[in-house]
Structure 1
């Protein structure tokens, strides 16, 4: 069965009116997933030691200490903290770790973490792009360091480059990271020559107006073969849905069915390499209807793969 891991605390991370990363994103997505037959699990709080797998103590302390008791405060030019942000961020990381543990223990075939804030832009000691802690990277390190795996892959199909995950896994030879993303686009990283300390990072920049058909060709011809060659024991997905044609923050032209196709292909690789073990965690997606539709087909494909 597919586990859906979430928590009401993730709705208490408040951003200013008009900010694209808002609680309504998660609310709409959870509403779209409500009819589905999922194993619904409460996301636990992660521990400080979990965060230390990727972030230094002084950075963790800085985020905690800047979290206000009331109101909202900026932590950088586009990332904000409210009174609920600390617990929300700990639930996001804790949910991903719970998903890894459940999937590796055979308690779920795969899992989707419907949590926020997102994580793939958070660098070692720098918040940015709405992100506080590197959820997917921490989950990968947890699988390697705590669960004894030798190879973990992280696939990031958010429209923005996963610069934080790349930074956190740059020196990690046991983790293969691939990011497909629009380029040029913020944050301005993710060129093909950014390959990691062990040639274990793959960036796939896509020009504006790239359609889903072109994306499929690129994944079939470049990404999926490289992923199979790595033969991960667990596949983690940074599932951003802002490559959708309706998203307001970027200019790729994927349709809802493209996310269904991509999820199916990734699950097939996982089936061949690691007994179907997949953990997916929510990243971007800022048009509420597009996010809900693409997120639902993503989870439906996870469910189909888990049968």
Structure 2
């Protein structure tokens, strides 16, 4: 089991009181403590990888908006600090390196512990703490660089991955499956949103849904869809904010539910799976959930 991270991700400093903060990575490190993982640095991301999903004009706008000091605000809750673009490019480099390693057979599973997150970044719009669509970029690298025929992206963050859906809407080679609380930010993710080729699958969950409800829904909808899709690689937007303790949402999962998800998704992935950190804002719950999820992946991929 590989874990990709980099100290540059600490350079994405958000304003005081912002939930997507540097301390999240300290919580992730606490969750990883004692696990038998091989650590690798996220390499610097190549801008050509960003351009697989985002137009050049958008990339240029983000780079130009980076402040010399303090913060620049891209939307209501998405901020740039002097180190933010460098951090985001480490996240891009990490997902690409993880895809490369798993496709090459160096490991069966990898986890990218980087920030800022990515699944809310739309084609030409930063939002929801996100700058670039990291997991969608990883999917496109798997398809276009490695020539895989079919990949799948599963997003279990409590918030719908509107950005990933937008970036992969026209991608017939990629199944995008998302479970998320609805109604909730960003307001997307209705079952009727099916993608240009019917390859988008949205599974809304009502506020208060617990782990038992999630497990039943996955067994009924998402896991069979993955089995039917027969992906060459599964990428996972691993947001841990569906935990009952998380302050930004209202689902009632526990850490052990993320262990169950790891096992179910691993079986569907057929031995090749790359996960990337998305949400999770209660630090203790984030640590416990990462320990359960990555711990199970480490056991299964050994």
Query: TM-score interval w.r.t. the shorter chain?
Result: over 0.9
- Distance in 2, matches of 1:94 and 1:127, equals 19
- Distance in 2, matches of 1:37 and 1:256, equals 19
Secondary structure of the residue that 2:183 maps to in structure 1? coil
Secondary structure of the residue that 1:194 maps to in structure 2? coil
Q: What is the match of residue 294 of structure 1?
A: 289
Structure 1: gaps of 5 or more residues: none
Equivalent pairs counted in the alignment come to 302
- Distance in 2, matches of 1:297 and 1:284, equals 16
Question: Any runs of at least 4 consecutive aligned residues in structure 1 with deviations exceeding 3 A, and if so which?
Answer: none
2:22 is aligned with 1:23: yes
Structure 1 position 83, deviation (Å): 0.7
Q: What is the match of residue 65 of structure 1?
A: 64
Post-superposition Cα deviations, 1:96-131, rounded to whole Å, max 9, x if no partner, equal 000000001111121000000000000000000000
Secondary structure of the residue that 2:262 maps to in structure 1? helix
- Distance in 2, matches of 1:268 and 1:47, equals 31
Q: What is the match of residue 143 of structure 1?
A: 142
Structure 2: gaps of 5 or more residues: none
- Distance in 1, matches of 2:170 and 2:82, equals 34
Q: What is the match of residue 285 of structure 1?
A: 280
Which of 275, 300, 303 is matched with 2:298 structurally?
A: 303
Alignment of 1:13-92 (within 5 A): 13-92=12-91
Q: What is the match of residue 244 of structure 1?
A: 243
Structure 1 position 305, deviation (Å): 1.5
- Distance in 2, matches of 1:92 and 1:131, equals 11
Q: What is the match of residue 165 of structure 1?
A: 164
Q: What is the match of residue 217 of structure 2?
A: 218
- Distance in 2, matches of 1:301 and 1:64, equals 38
- Distance in 2, matches of 1:31 and 1:293, equals 8
Mapped contact 1:69–1:83 kept (Cα < 8 A): yes
Secondary structure of the residue that 1:75 maps to in structure 2? strand
- Distance in 1, matches of 2:172 and 2:83, equals 35
Q: What is the match of residue 256 of structure 1?
A: 255
Post-superposition Cα deviations, 1:50-75, rounded to whole Å, max 9, x if no partner, equal 11000000100000010112111211
Q: Pairwise CA RMSD of aligned residues?
A: 0.6
- Distance in 1, matches of 2:31 and 2:47, equals 33
Mapped contact 1:54–1:134 kept (Cα < 8 A): yes
Q: TM-score, normalised by structure 1?
A: 0.97
Alignment of 1:69-148 (within 5 A): 69-148=68-147
Structure 1 position 89, deviation (Å): 0.2
Post-superposition Cα deviations, 1:237-260, rounded to whole Å, max 9, x if no partner, equal 000000000000000000111111
- Distance in 1, matches of 2:63 and 2:72, equals 13
Mapped contact 2:35–2:298 kept (Cα < 8 A): no
Structure 1 position 32, deviation (Å): 2.4
Post-superposition Cα deviations, 1:264-283, rounded to whole Å, max 9, x if no partner, equal 11111112xxxx10000000
Mapped contact 1:11–1:27 kept (Cα < 8 A): no
Secondary structure of the residue that 1:229 maps to in structure 2? helix
